[in-house]
Amino acid sequence: MKVEVLIGNIVKQPDMDAIVNSANANLRMGSGVAGAIHTAAGPRLEDYCRPFAPLELGSALITPGFLLPNRWIIHVRAAHYINNTEPERYLAFAISSLLNTARDNQIKSIALPAIGTGVFKFPAELAAAITAKTISQYSKISTGIEIIRICVASEELCDAYRCAFERELHDASLA
């Protein structure tokens, strides 16, 4: 499995089978990534999601991409870093859930944002470390996903995620 980290817009990844929405419990438009994805996918997305709300912490839901160039959207719900208990555990669950959902739907390429770092207030380095560790562990036990692209909005986030994946590769080589 190849992992890329880049500065980019999550809704402008036409070569990916699926993109990931860092969703709110109600699976509504919201702000940040959820707002951008709902806007780009069009109003049918929110209508489609309504019966599946509320989305449980750490859970994933797959929907059509509607007006997006991607066939699928995988919605995951991370915990709010300040307001929820065990936010680190739920972020790892969310990452695992999205990877399992991708595998179960034969998705080969997936783009995800820096889940939890926006309105959910996760510190960038912590979110990056959890994401890198969860993806690294997953890649050892499951196959099918060929490429994961992490699309972030700033150089700071890009550095945090690249460093986390480099540390994870280094730690894996020592094991």
Q: Are 94 and 81 in contact (CB under 8 A)?
A: no
At residue 141, the pLDDT reads: 87
Confidence band, pLDDT 50/70/90 cuts, at residue 95: very high
SS (H, E, C) 69-93: CCCEEEEECCCCCCCCCCHHHHHHH
Confidence band, pLDDT 50/70/90 cuts, at residue 94: very high
At residue 175, the pLDDT reads: 54
Confidence band, pLDDT 50/70/90 cuts, at residue 172: low
- Tell whether the model's pLDDT for residue 170 goes beyond 90: no
Per-residue pLDDT, averaged over 135-148, amounts to 90
Per-residue pLDDT, averaged over 43-61, amounts to 97
Report all structural domains of the chain as residue ranges with CATH numbers, in order of start.
2-174 (3.40.220.10)
Name the helix (H) or strand (E) containing 155: helix 155-174
Comparing CA positions, the residue from 11, 2, 36, 10 lying closest to residue 157 is: 10
